[in-house]
A and B are shown apart, each in its own frame.
Chain A
Amino acid sequence: MAKIIIPTPLRKFTSNQAAVAVQSGTVIESIRDLTFQYPDLDKHLFNEDQQLRGFVRVFIGEDDIEDLQGHDTPVQQGDTISIIPAIAGGI
């Protein structure tokens, strides 16, 4: 198992848990396991096309997955995944 750290605004959807144990595999598989456990999170993390929303940035330890293998980055047993929002918008 690995764990995912949940940002404060999303903890309402994880029964106020700051961290959730998830299956390892790849990053996207781990996040899918999170939304399987907490289905109300799904619409906030994924858009209508089932792509991760723009604000969702994912780190393994201190490393941005964009600098690794993106969604296919392997997740090892014991890894800590952080979902950290990039707040964005505009006119």
Chain B
Amino acid sequence: MEVVIPSEAIKSIHDIAEQAYPFECCGFLYGLVGEQLQIRQVQSVVNDSPENHKVHYTIPPKEFMKAERYALEKEIDLIGVFHSHPDHPPHPSGRDLADALPELSYFITSVYQGQAIQTKSWRLSESRQFQEEPIKIEFNK
């Protein structure tokens, strides 16, 4: 499914990824589910991984619970999550795949030398393989 995201929101993700560099950032994506996925809000979450934050991220269960409650209160959907790959391409790793949830978009932003270069979106298939989703960036008219 195509993911539509306002230019300000993609800029927010890139800003968060650049500020976190050389470590991985992470967060939630909220919006509306229809014929397209319409992202309306980006929310950064502290990387809680017990491992090296240059190569790993974790969003703890309590943050996921808060995100579900937030979506319910605001009557929007929890569409996906985002994280960055410092000095690596925006493609899911084996670790991304092993712990992936279905029915969520996974945005991955590559950051090279402190600069966010590219964001791609991925979704788990029925056979638990990641497939790329097209991202359409909406600019203010």
Contacts and interface: CB of A to CB of B under 8 A. Distances in A.
B88 A91 contact: yes
A55 B93 contact: no
Interface of A is mostly: mixed
Interface residues of B, number: 36
Interface of B is mostly: mixed
Interface string B99-114: 1111110100000000
A47 B56 CA distance: 20
Nearest to B104: A9
Nearest to A40: B126
A90 B56 contact: yes
**Size category, A interface:** 20 to 34
B64 A86 contact: yes
A89 B93 contact: yes
B88 A54 contact: no
Interface in A20-51: 43-44, 47
The 9 closest A-B pairs by CB, nearest first: A90-B56, A89-B96, A84-B61, A87-B59, A9-B103, A55-B99, A88-B58, A57-B61, A91-B55
Given A89-B98, A89-B106, 8 more contacts: A8-B78, A84-B64, A87-B101, A88-B95, A89-B56, A89-B57, A90-B57, A91-B95
